[in-house]
Amino acid sequence: MFNKILIANRGEIACRVIKTARKMGIETVAIYSDADRNALHVEMADEAVHIGPPPANQSYIVIDKVMDAIRQSGAQAVHPGYGFLSENPDFADALETAGVAFIGPPKGAIISMGDKITSKKIAQEAGVATVPGYMGLIADADEAVKISGEIGYPVMIKASAGGGGKGMRIANTDQEAREGFQSSKNEAAKSFGDDRIFIEKFITQPRHIEIQVLCDAHGNGVYLGERECSIQRRNQKVIEEAPSPFLDAATRKAMGEQALSLAMAVGYTSAGTVEFIVDGARKFYFLEMNTRLQVEHPVTELITGVDLVEQMIRVANGEKLTITQADVKLNGWAIESRLYAEDPYREFLPSIGRLTRYRPPAEVASDTHAVRNDTGVFEGGEISMFYDPMIAKLCTWAPDRARAIEEMSRALDGFEVEGIGHNLPFLSAVMEHPKFVSGDITTAFIAEEYPDGFSGVDLADDLLLRVAAASAAMYRVAEIRRTRVSGRMDNHERKIGTVWVVSAQGRDFKVTIDADKDGALVRFDGGATLRVEADWVPGQSLARLNVDGTPLVMKVAKVPNGFRVRLRGADLKVLVRTPRQAELGALMPEKTAPDTSNMLLCPMPGLIVSVDVQVGDKVQNGQVLCTVEAMKMENILRAEKAAVISKINVAAGDSLAVDEVIMEFE
């Protein structure tokens, strides 16, 4: 076995690989850029080599620099993680020349699967079902329109070199095909330096379901079941699970066998993933093969018990697989939530800054449930604009899907992340969504269910009641503490009343609290009585309570006369007042926020790439106003209504902070 391996990556995946290497008794070498000097992967590795400035194209993806780090450290093998150099045949080549093992597939497999047109042709020859379409190159927009018409709308226009959801457009009409062809081509040229485009049928009611394969260099291979990755935003995965709620055993077997025959056809070794699109009738079609460890691999590990990184290292070391297909058993259900530094209330725009608080839920591994959190960050650390906005991958496992979802909801409720915008409330909301809960999901789920973006959720009545009871009991504890602190020691508890009005989500609940030494009974006027028990003390930001025998976890922050409470995707102000205060409060005018509707504010810290309008321009709803770049993504800001531009405060090249005024309207 290798003595020392280098991990040519950063963030959570570098940490993930280090964990397994350590378990196997292998020393690890990290590489890091200036921005990652204090990163977790550097801290965790046995050694670390500095490789350059923050931008990846000056550090992590510069093959010569990585090769230098390998020589310097004497590593015998390299794990590339995902992204960066993981699917770069030149890197595999450089390693081969240097006599260093690549913990991944052979160069030939990377090349043939790295191109969508080539891989589709190989798949077809290997007897794998592919999406109907035109496999040749398309010269111009006229040809794109002609071919789209022949395939039949809707069609998907794709970049052959594409990846990460880029260079892809759906077209429903000739006009859209013409525009889509041009914009795919531009995006592909810019992102991949390769503007070859092809067109295939857009599969309706599509689900993204992928098969994990694992092959050794001795002709053996297994498939480790599937992952359902249909919850996507901009063709990028957000929530994944294994198994898929949609597959039956026969379809799973057929997909698994086809995936394996494709792997065999290209002489694949190591872990790889064959992605399929599956239609409403369970017909499946090959999409692409990813020749690397996939982001969402933990859900497969949780239901199969196989450590994929360990297997990759063993295969790279020339060992034979010890697992046969008959050994692969799918046990229970696993879900992964990708926690992204993307603000769900601002159309998922990336957010950067310091993690002022980062407290993931405790990891658990038991027979009844499991919680796993793969991360590369720490409290006080910085989410920079240079890399991927993923903060953590939170996974839960349970014997069945319903319980795995409940575990995820609870784990998300207990996950504290402050200081930057993040999608945690959105992930919670999906876990509560009836369509998700029933397993009725397609890749259009987010677009269809949140057409106007995400604006938080309202709690269902029963949960609202539980939150009201919990808040009342907590408020009483806080009041007792407060009156004590203020020095009024004379029989203070008597002064705390027992009748309160709890207001939340536009509702008022009159309650009576009977406290004893272990908790409180909260009686709702004309309704239920709920018992609240907790060891919460004022000042704690996470409250773990027990309400009527079941756990309730919520984030709490003190506000005048109550709390800000966050749980299950909801963010609410809960007021707890005496009946008199509540009465007076109802007469107070609501404070109105300053009117910023006639301004365009910068939604995230970033760089102005272009300003597309001038003072005096009349713009229409949806018209492009300017483009802001942050975290490698260009974000187009559009007019939300017809207006006239009265003032422009920025120019291309300016760096802006969040909420800076970009332009004003008349």
Residues known to be catalytic: 288
Q: Shortest approach of Mg ion to residue 443 CB, angstroms?
A: 11
CB of 172 to ligand ADP, least distance (A): 13
Q: Any contact of residue 605 with ligand ADP (CB under 6 A)?
A: no
Shortest gap between Cβ of 529 and Mg ion (angstroms)? 53
Site mask for Mg ion (CB under 5 A), range 548-577, x = bound: ------------------------------
Distance CA 565, CA 471 (A): 9
Q: Which stretch binds Mg ion (CB under 5 A): 243-251, 271-279, 368-376, 477-485?
A: 271-279
Tokens in use for 393?
A: 């991958």
Minimum distance from residue 53 beta carbon to ligand ADP (Å): 19
The span of 231-239, 412-420, 427-435, 577-585 binding ligand ADP (CB under 6 A) equals 231-239
Residue 74, strand partner residues:
none
Which amino acid belongs to residue 29? V
How far apart are alpha carbons 369 and 371 in whole angstroms? 7
| SS3 per residue for 409-439 | HHHHHCCEEECCCCCHHHHHHHHHCHHHHHC
**208 contact choice in ligand ADP, Mg ion, none (CB below 5 to 8 Å, kind-dependent):** ligand ADP
Q: Does 443 bind ligand ADP (CB under 6 A)?
A: yes
Q: Minimum distance between the CB of residue 163 and ligand ADP, rounded to whole angstroms?
A: 2
CB of 390 to ligand ADP, least distance (A): 7
Q: Could you say whether residue 294 binds ligand ADP (CB under 6 A)?
A: yes
Q: Does 236 bind ligand ADP (CB under 6 A)?
A: yes
CA-CA-CA-CA torsion sign (208, 209, 214, 215): negative
Interface with ligand ADP, residue 83, by CB under 6 A: yes
Residue 58 to residues 50, 63, 88, 386, 390, Cα–Cα distance (Å)? 12, 10, 16, 11, 21
Asked if 164 touches ligand ADP (CB under 6 A), the answer is: yes
The 3-state DSSP class for residue 450 equals: coil
Q: Does 336 bind ligand ADP (CB under 6 A)?
A: no
Residue 656 binding: pick among ligand ADP, Mg ion, none (C-beta 5-8 Å cut-off by kind): none
Q: Determine if 200 is a binding residue for ligand ADP (CB under 6 A).
A: yes
Q: Give me the helices (H) in 488-629, please.
A: 492-495, 579-587
Q: Is residue 351 a contact partner of residue 422, using CB atoms and an 8 Å limit?
A: yes
Quick count: other Cβ atoms within 10 Å of Cβ 439?
14
Q: For residues 357 and 379, is the Cβ–Cβ distance under 8 A?
A: yes
Query: Alpha-carbon distance 339 to 352, whole Å?
Result: 13
Nearest to 300 by CA among 254, 244, 220, 369: 244
**Residue with smaller CB distance to Mg ion, 275 or 388:** 275
What residues pair up with 382 in beta bridges, in sequence order? Answer: 354
Question: Judged by CB under 6 A, which of 295, 328, 335, 522 binds ligand ADP?
Answer: 295
Q: Please report, for residues 48, 356, 375, 381, 416, the alpha-carbon distance to residue 378 in angstroms, rounded to integers and kept in the order given.
A: 18, 9, 8, 5, 12
Residue 290 touching ligand ADP (CB under 6 A)? yes
CB nearer to Mg ion: pick between 210 and 301: 210
Cβ–Cβ under 8 Å, residues 333 and 400 = yes
Nearer to Mg ion, 113 or 602 (CB): 113
Residues between 93 and 132 with contacts to ligand ADP, criterion CB under 6 A: 131
Residue 245, beta-bridge partner list: none
Q: Which is nearer to Mg ion, 200 or 275 (CB)?
A: 275
Q: Of 24 and 444, which has the nearer Cβ to Mg ion?
A: 444
From the list Mg ion, ligand ADP, none, partner contacted by residue 7 (C-beta under 5 to 8 A by kind): none
Helix ranges restricted to H, 346-503: 401-413, 424-432, 434-438, 445-449, 461-485, 492-495
> Are 395 and 90 spatial neighbours (Cβ–Cβ below 8 Å)?
no
Cβ 278 to Mg ion, closest distance in Å?
14
- CB distance 213 to 304 below 8 Å: no
Residue 82 is a binding residue for ligand ADP (CB under 6 A): yes
Work out how close the CB of 274 gets to ligand ADP at its nearest, in angstroms, rounded to a whole number. Answer: 10
Q: How far is CA 547 from the centre of its chain?
A: 31
3-state class (DSSP) for residue 585: helix
Distance of CA 7 to the CA centre of its chain: 23
Asked if 165 interacts with ligand ADP (CB under 6 A), we say yes
Instruction: Check residue 235 for interaction with ligand ADP (CB under 6 A).
Output: yes
How is residue 342 written in tokens? Answer: 């993307």
CA dihedral for 481, 486, 489, 491, sign (positive or negative): negative
Count, residues near Mg ion per rule CB under 5 A: 1
- For ligand ADP, the binding residue among 80, 162, 298, 344 (CB under 6 A) is 162
Cross-strand partners of 232: 237
Identify residues 384-403 at the interface with ligand ADP (CB under 6 A).
388
Report the relative pairing of strands 618-619 and 643-648 from DSSP bridges.
antiparallel
Q: Binding to ligand ADP by residue 237, rule CB under 6 A?
A: yes
Work out how close the CB of 300 gets to ligand ADP at its nearest, in angstroms, rounded to a whole number. 12
For ligand ADP, which stretch binds (CB under 6 A), given 155-163, 366-374, 459-467, 545-553?
155-163
Kindly list the residues in this chain that would bind ligand ADP in the complex (CB under 6 A).
82-83, 131, 156, 162-165, 168, 200, 202-203, 206, 208, 232, 235-237, 275, 277, 287-288, 290, 294-296, 388, 443
Kindly list the residues in this chain that would bind Mg ion in the complex (CB under 5 A).
275
